[in-house]
Amino acid sequence: MLRLIVTSAVAAIMAPMALGQETPPPQTSCTLPQVLAARAKVQEGSATFTQERRIHYVRDSLSSAGRLRYVAPDHLEMIVEKPQQESFIYDDGVLSFDTADGKSAGQVSVDSDLLLSAMFSGLVGTLSGNEDELRRVFFVEFAADACRWRMKLTPKSKRVAEKVQAIDLKGRDQHLDEVEILQANGDRSVIMINDQP
């Protein structure tokens, strides 16, 4: 059960990559280095999200919604408001879980789990604008039409690839609009991000 919670948390926490303080003037084209350079300038941001998860042994999809917060270089918060309140906080390599009443439901060191370590390497690499970190852990494919872009992260590690097939990110300029995590067992999570004004 903890693994399901951690996997769900990772999927949902990936969403804050999009959070930005300001929107620069639109560009006519974007490259991966330009998007990551814009990300590196973001010190703090918040947004709302909706998430839909499809789990192979559950008939109906699972939906959640709430708020996201990012503080550079690697503090992430996911406050789930629906269907029930709970929070997931990533800070300095530790993922913490809290219940609606604020009681700690547990912690896990991200480095103690190969899957989490790789996923947070990709996350922190993107949030901090660190292309080298992304390429250390993932094969990175990037395509853009004007500044609407898509990035596909495929794990380099065979052990990680046995669990995560790919992470697809879609966005515009330095913002991320959608994160889709495809797991090797057929599970899928899609997070839609709405920037707050």
- Domain residues for the domain of 78 are 2-195
pLDDT the model gives residue 36: 92
CATH of the domain at 24: 2.50.20.10
- Give the number of domains in the chain: 1
Report whether 191 contacts 16 (CB < 8 A): no
Q: Which pLDDT band holds residue 76 (cuts at 50, 70, 90)?
A: confident
Q: What's the Cα-to-Cα distance from 46 to each of 22, 43, 67, 143, 149, rounded to whole Å?
A: 11, 11, 7, 26, 21
How do residues 113-141 score in pLDDT, each as one tens digit?
A: 877 777 777 777 777 788 998 998 999 99
Which of helix, strand or coil describes residue 137? helix
